[in-house]
Amino acid sequence: MSRIRRLDPAVADQIAAGEVVERPASAVKELTENAIDAGAHAIRVLVPAPDRRHLIVEDDGVGMDRDDVLLSVERHATSKLARLADLDQLGTLGFRGEALAAIGSVSRLAVSSRPPSADTGYQVVVDHGLRVSAGPVARQPGTRVECRDLFRDVPARLKALPAAPAEWMAIWQVVAGQAAAHPQIGWTLAEEAGGAPAFATRPGSTLADVLLAWLGPDAAAQLIPVERTALAGDVSVSGFILPPDLARGNRRQQVLAINGRVVRNFSLRAAVEQGYGSLLPERRYPGCWLQISIPAPQVDPNAHPAKAEVRLERERAVAGVVHQAVQDALRRQHAFPLQAASADGAVESASPLRAAEQAAWDWPSAASGASPAPLHREIADLVPLSQWQARYLLCQGAAGLYLIDQHAAHERVYYDRFKQSAAQAVPVQPLLVPLVLNLSRTEAQLLATHGEVLAASGFELEPLGGSSAALRAVPAPLMDVADVSLVQTLFDSLLAGGAYGEHPVSWALDHQLATAACKAAVKANRPMTRPEMERLLADMAESPSPRSCPHGRPTLLVLSLEEVDRRFGRR
């Protein structure tokens, strides 16, 4: 007797449903995507049950006639493609024809719809995979989908559902994310009909309007616009990001939409976060709402059962565009400005202690010539008072008493100089003893193919035959941390795919530059002279981001006079 047998259709449908409908929030995602594809101008989502297993999604889209309503609840029935070749030119969000059938196999599903040309609508009811009724119904043009008792007959899935508050937050995240990807549609999320909406936007809104409803006026006022087009116009990035000081401990304020589809993509998410670089502390994540446009043939949305993840033909190249777009936006906004110099560049120092004598040890110095006006006059005008516990500088300034972490501040100075050196002509430092590298066959081929790229980056590698090579020189700023892992990082970047120029080299070097800066910077418990303090303050004033070290830790704290007076009982 054969041990292999065909599954019962009901069992097969519930297994397939588990791939598409993981939780109530994923059902909301599928239903709202269908509403978007239907050309809706307004979409309303109601979640009336306390356990979040009763869902209603209603739209004013093109609607369906009787035959389409009956077909819509069958598996693999769709209006969005007819041939295999159509997958290469998808312009819709849903295309497999699985959403309604999958939801209907694990809930009691009622689908009612009416096209504008019809006098009446039509409704079909499916109870956990079985059609129980179908017939005409009076309703407005558009479509209404209601599911009850989700996962009633799937106890394993029911037990694994998150708590109701967590599920409500997940549903809120889905609706708000779809609104950010399709701001022209009016969105409403509420717990009951006629009740106050938890999230609402009007038809014809912009992304800025959606984010005002999402964030509130205070945070929305700090949004930084992002706009970039690259790769011969094939890729464009637009949207908004939040400044680093509004970063959060989770990624709930991140929406990445590719051609209108909200997706999860590790490379693109990393591109955004790496774009902030050292402005973010560890385990803090920036807010971003980015819409990425890519030619449809270069996107494969069929890589995930729930269509949450996509594959891109030139993923590293697209990630590079996103990375640069975020960096450009932050640079335009001068993230973490304290007090910029005047427009004419004239900056008068308020410190009577500025001295011409040199520092007592070798600080990184700017190029010879006239010193540029400091970017941050507030720091340039600080008066060093003393050093506390051989690790903090106490300074007097316009806002009060400044405490500066000498190691973190000096680390930032070195990091900025290293980054500047990496962006310009790279000075090469020969190694006293060459490092011998044992390369894989692929890495040896990369060395032969891209050796000139590595040389332009300041790395002198000489093939020794077979799979060995000698590292004879490195970029001078990285001399303190020159080891095999540094070159391995570059090889990993090359192995990631595509031409080397498609991937920003800063990704490969940022961590190493931060490590080099940490090793080179003055350490805690190191006494400093007054000229050294002044030199450090002057260098900080020239840094684009003086408030954080390369690892995201703060470099300074400010204690205002008002705060001191209050603590002493004067106010």
Dihedral of alpha carbons 150, 156, 161, 164, sign: positive
**CA distance to 50, 144, 152, 325, per residue, from 148 (Å):** 12, 13, 9, 44
pLDDT 10s digits, 381-422: 999 999 998 899 999 998 899 999 999 999 888 888 877 766
Predicted local confidence at residue 330, as pLDDT: 85
pLDDT 10s digits, 44-97: 999 987 878 899 999 999 999 999 899 888 877 766 555 555 556 666 676 555
What CA–CA distance (Å, rounded) separates 177 from 310? Answer: 17
Which CATH superfamily does the domain covering 9-202 fall into? Answer: Histidine kinase-like ATPase, C-terminal domain (3.30.565.10)
**Closest of 553, 225, 297 to residue 415, by C-alpha:** 553
What CA–CA distance (Å, rounded) separates 455 from 206? Answer: 47
Predicted local confidence at residue 354, as pLDDT: 30
Q: Per CATH, is 222-333 categorized as 3.90.1520.10?
A: no
Coil, strand or helix at 102:
helix
DSSP 519: H
Which residue did the predictor score with more confidence, 375 or 174? 174
Query: Mean per-residue pLDDT for 95-110?
Result: 82
Judge whether residue 470 has pLDDT over 80: yes
Predicted local confidence at residue 375, as pLDDT: 80
User: Tokens 């989502």 identify what position?
Assistant: 45
User: Tokens 């239903």 identify what position?
Assistant: 31
Strand partners, 224: 241
Query: Mean per-residue pLDDT for 541-554?
Result: 83
Query: Mean per-residue pLDDT for 202-218?
Result: 94
Tokens of residue 183, six digits: 């701001």
The pLDDT > 70 percentage for the chain reads 77
Within this chain, domains 9-202 and 222-333 share the same CATH topology: no
Mean pLDDT across the chain, nearest whole number?
A: 80
Predicted local confidence at residue 89, as pLDDT: 61
pLDDT 10s digits, 252-267: 999 999 999 998 888 8
CB 406 within 8 A of CB 526: yes
The pLDDT > 90 percentage for the chain reads 33
pLDDT 10s digits, 170-192: 999 999 999 999 999 999 999 98
Predicted local confidence at residue 276, as pLDDT: 86
CB 241 within 8 A of CB 223: yes
DSSP 522-550: PPTT----HHHHHHHHHHHHT-S-TTB-T
Predicted local confidence at residue 355, as pLDDT: 29
Predicted local confidence at residue 458, as pLDDT: 73
Judge whether residue 357 has pLDDT over 50: no
Strand partners, 461: 471
Judge whether residue 476 has pLDDT over 80: no
Query: Mean per-residue pLDDT for 228-256?
Result: 90
pLDDT 10s digits, 479-513: 655 556 656 666 665 555 443 344 444 445 666 67
Mean pLDDT is lowest, of 289-293, 368-372, 469-473, 549-553, for 368-372
Pairing type for strands 42-46 and 186-190 reads parallel
What CA–CA distance (Å, rounded) separates 269 from 426? Answer: 30
Mean pLDDT is lowest, of 219-223, 238-242, 278-282, 407-411, for 278-282
Mean pLDDT is lowest, of 15-29, 112-126, 143-157, 197-211, for 15-29
What CA–CA distance (Å, rounded) separates 244 from 250? Answer: 14
Q: Is residue 338 very low, low, confident or very high in pLDDT (cuts 50, 70, 90)?
A: very low
pTM of the model: 0.65
Q: Per CATH, is 374-571 categorized as 3.30.1540.20?
A: yes
What CA–CA distance (Å, rounded) separates 118 from 65? Answer: 8
What CA–CA distance (Å, rounded) separates 217 from 403? Answer: 32
Segments of 458-527 assigned E as strands: 460-465, 468-475
Which residue did the predictor score with more confidence, 513 or 238? 238
Judge whether residue 314 has pLDDT over 60: yes
CB 459 within 8 A of CB 469: no
DSSP 481: G
What CA–CA distance (Å, rounded) separates 339 from 316? Answer: 37
Over its C-alpha atoms, the chain yields an Rg (Å, rounded) of 30
What is the 3-class SS of 394-415, one letter each residue? Answer: EEEECCEEEEEEHHHHHHHHHH
What CA–CA distance (Å, rounded) separates 72 from 63? Answer: 11
Q: Is residue 12 very low, low, confident or very high in pLDDT (cuts 50, 70, 90)?
A: low
CB neighbours of 321 closer than 8 A, spacing ≥ 6?
A: 228, 230, 231, 235, 237
Ordered by start, the domain boundaries in the chain are: 9-202, 222-333, 374-571
CB-neighbour burial class of residue 198 (10 A; exposed 0-12, middle 13-18, buried 19+): middle
Mean pLDDT is lowest, of 140-144, 145-149, 520-524, for 520-524
CB-neighbour burial class of residue 221 (10 A; exposed 0-12, middle 13-18, buried 19+): exposed
